Amino acid sequence: MEVTEAVAIDHGLKKEEFSKICELMKRTPNLTELAIFSAMWNEHCSYKSSRKHLKKMHTKGKQVIQGPGENAGVIDIGDDDAIVFKIESHNHPSFIEPYQGAATGVGGIMRDVFTMGARPIANLNSIHFGSPQHKKTRNLLRGVVKGIGGYGNCIGVPTIAGQTTFDESYNGNILVNAMTLGLVNKNKIFYSKAAGLDKPVIYVGSKTGRDGIHGASMASATFDDKIEEKKPTVQVGDPFTEKLLLEACLELMADNSIIAIQDMGAAGLTSSSVEMASKGNLGIELNLSEVPCREEKMTPYEIMLSESQERMLIVLEKGKEEHAKKIFDKWNLDFAVIGKTTNSKKIELIFNNKKVAEIPIDLLAENAPIYDRPWKKTKLPQKLKFDKDEFKSLKLSDCLKKILSNSNISDKKWIWDQYDHTVMGDTIQKPGGDAGVVRVHGTNKAVAASVDSSALYCFSHPLTGGKQIVCESYRNLISVGAKPIAITNCLNFGNPEKEKNMGEFVECVEGITEASKYLDFPVVSGNVSFYNETKDKGIKPTPTIGGVGLISDYQQMLTMDFKTEGNLVYVIGKTDGHLDQSIFARELLNEKKGPPPTVNLFNEKNIGETLLDLSRKNLIVSCHDVSLGGILTAVSKMCIKGKKGIKINSLKGLTNKYEYFFGEDQARYIVEIPRASLKKVIEILNKYSVHFDDLGIIDGNSIKYNDDINLPIEELADAHKYWLKKYMDS
């Protein structure tokens, strides 16, 4: 086929990009070369719209071993142990084919982690669906959950936490973000930078098929009516092969045979070979006739673009080929020497003894286009003036029940029962808590992780929303007794070519950066997913934060369930009663406007550190952060989990009980304090000048507040626990 501008456009390139390629190459590329350019220059691989802004992120810290730019980020957790982690999106494929899309999302992120030499120890996911009333939602949810479970369960890595939300803006673009944590000895981390000339380049894992061709370009475009036709671009996962690949790679990594290793993810062999060569400032020569193929007569074009799963590219020390082959033979995996490193600084492809492509590496990597896209600031909406007389017609207990059974607040047990969350024998906090917690095998340490996003806040005011999610992640880790260390982020946005969407991205990133800097909670890895848009309708901006923290003695881990009758319950942090953008305003007043709650970073940090101090001194016995739904929602969850009631005090000087109970002010926690600890707790709270309210006492089997609320916990539990199950069964 002759390469023309039209062919280039078909490959997702812009007119100007095609002329730039011809200019840089000083000739028209052939079809294979064009395909390589299209794969490397698309949004998904090149970060061309986002790179300028991502550079500003806060990525350094005392415990950071590796920040963004590698397969995953790495943090130091002491005693030579390090945690490798990253979150990644698989949105577009999951909408087209939910099971395989979600499954391969999990497979891909696990490969990113074990590529670095780490054994995966926990998976998390953040999944977002359209309105529950939308005809596709139920099947998409079922497929995605089955896909995530099908892959993670088979590999034998526990899925320890997650987040699921519903919003009509995801009707045509669901989000599936998967996160993996792995454990590695900090002196045995593997990177993707090739080094040394004439080193063998090895292909291992599954055979290459025609699946997933153009997957990365698909992820770089918006959807239209013909989206179903893209089904063949979705990869098909084989978790069994991945399990073998994991064990084989870790076995080979036990000695010093590997120079560099990179998994074949988006844009498969193209992006993995170019990245390794580019980082090592080398050239690479690949003989495509040697690539193990599962289908006949595959062309160089197809081989280079295939996104078949469970494959790795390795640059090996010379002379180690036999040794490595033995290991992969043992695990019944393909092993082929397909090329070598060169000093040409080009990627050169040979097929049937003929050179079929030759491109200078720097054109694909450093010289890839970068755009400074125009963007628009979002103004902070005016604060609403609620008609408080209108509230009086609402009974507090009815409001509470309605909020607890809201699709975004209700219990997600139906989902996580389908994920193996206990395999590996170290899960000490299961899904459903503020964060999942796994022990670092054979030690007293434990790692906590949580995934969070707040699309409503980010949509209303991206700058505040960006800050808020980082704080929420921070609080979730503190709530289980963990010291927050670092985050990974998955930035899900609409079309960057639209000023509003680009503005949402820029300002969310700004918010994330400001908060992570202030809280010393650096970003070490992440990914950007743009073009979450169908027929011109984009998603609400949904940056997802995956936070990781450390508990140095796992016996000090906290959970949210109320423990003992007679213990006191305090709200830590000040409540002003911010109702704009709250679930209360949305569900009970049908009010969707107004600004999100203000984020005060000083308070977040100060209160967070106070809480850590209290938990390290064993002065509190349960803890939960106050987020969506406010104080009453948070307390109800603690009651339901602990199967215990609470008698809430008549609160003096309260301006409005609805604002107090359902307001979503930030930087607040609810804690359970044994009477014997109370004096010390108050001393510490005063020392840090932290505001607190004496909320009540754990008592009986109901929630009681004056004459307003008297609800048996069982009734609340029914409202909270079964919404999703009923929805899925209906």
Contact residues toward another protein (CB under 8 A) are 146, 149-150, 153-156, 238-241, 243-244, 330-332, 416-428, 430, 439, 554-555
Measured from the CB atom, the residue of 149 and 541 that comes closer to another protein is 149
- 90 is a catalytic site residue: yes
Q: How far is the CB of 707 from another protein (least distance, A)?
A: 36
**Residues forming beta bridges with residue 87, ordered by sequence position:** 179
The span from the CA of 206 to the CA of 264, in Å, is: 11
- Provide the minimum distance between the beta carbon of 149 and another protein in the complex, in angstroms, as a whole number: 5
CB of 183 to another protein, least distance (A): 13
Q: Token pair 């409540």 is at which residue?
A: 575
Q: How far apart are CA 286 and CA 203, in angstroms?
A: 10
- Nearest distance, CB of residue 645 and another protein, angstroms: 21
Partner residues linked to 551 by β-bridges: 446
What stretches of 156-297 show up as alpha helix (H) in DSSP?
A: 215-218, 239-253, 268-280
- Which CB, 59 or 241, lies closer to another protein? 241
The tokens describing 422, both together, are: 């206990």
Q: How far is the CB of 293 from another protein (least distance, A)?
A: 21
Say whether 254 sits in a helix, a strand or coil.
Answer: coil
User: At its nearest, how many Å lie between another protein and the CB of residue 213?
Assistant: 25
CA distance 724 to 581: 23
Distances (CA, A) of 81 to 182, 188, 205, 431, 483: 10, 10, 28, 24, 16
Please, which residues have CB within 8 angstroms of residue 480's CB and are 6 or more apart in sequence?
429, 433, 434, 435, 437, 448, 549, 551, 557, 558, 559, 623
What is the side-by-side strand order in the sheet with 646-648? 622-625, 669-673, 568-572, 692-698, 646-648, 702-705, 709-712
Question: Do 100 and 254 meet the contact criterion of CB atoms below 8 Å apart?
Answer: no
Residue 123 is given by DSSP the state E
Catalytic residue among 11, 44, 214, 421: 44
Q: Whose Cβ is closer to another protein: residue 427's or residue 582's?
A: 427
Nearer to another protein, 149 or 538 (CB): 149
Measured between alpha carbons, how far is 443 from 552 in angstroms, rounded to an integer? 9
Question: Strand 702-705 relative to strand 709-712: parallel, antiparallel, unpaired?
Answer: antiparallel
In angstroms, give the least distance from the CB of 446 to another protein: 9
Nearer to another protein, 376 or 430 (CB): 430
Which CB sits closer to another protein, 244 or 482?
244
Helices 31-41 and 15-25, interaxial angle, to 10°? 120
Quote the least distance from Cβ 158 to another protein, whole Å: 9
Q: How far is the CB of 318 from another protein (least distance, A)?
A: 29
When the beta carbons of 549 and 596 are compared against another protein, the nearer one is: 549
Q: How far is the CB of 439 from another protein (least distance, A)?
A: 8
d(CA 299, CA 590): 57
- Contact (Cβ atoms closer than 8 angstroms) between residue 540 and residue 455: yes
Catalytic residue among 11, 53, 58, 90: 90
- CA pair distance 264, 649, nearest whole angstrom: 59
What are the Cα distances from residue 620, in Å, to 433, 569, 592, 633? 16, 10, 37, 20
Q: What is the DSSP string of 370-392?
A: -------PPPPPPPP---HHHHT
> Whose Cβ is closer to another protein: residue 18's or residue 151's?
151
Per-residue H/E/C for 29-62: CCHHHHHHHHHHHCHHHHCCCCHHHHCCCCCCCC
Token look-up 């193996």 returns 420
Contact 712, 701 (CB under 8 A): yes
Q: Between residues 78 and 240, which has the closer beta carbon with respect to another protein? A: 240
Q: Are strands 354-360 and 119-129 parallel, antiparallel or unpaired?
A: unpaired
Distances (CA, A) of 720 to 60, 67, 161, 590: 41, 39, 18, 21
Which residue number, 431 or 696, has a Cβ lying nearer to another protein? 431
Q: Please report how close the Cβ of residue 418 comes to another protein at its closest, in angstroms.
A: 5
Q: CA–CA separation, 300 vs 422, rounded Å?
A: 44
- Write down the least CB distance from residue 262 to another protein, Å: 24
Residue 82 vs 154, nearer CB to another protein: 154
Number of other CB atoms surrounding residue 190 within 10 Å: 23
Query: How far apart (Å, rounded) are the C-alpha atoms in residues 326 and 305?
Result: 28
**Residue 81 or 302 with smaller CB distance to another protein:** 81
Q: Measured between alpha carbons, how far is 629 from 275 in angstroms, rounded to an integer? A: 45
Catalytic residues: 44, 90
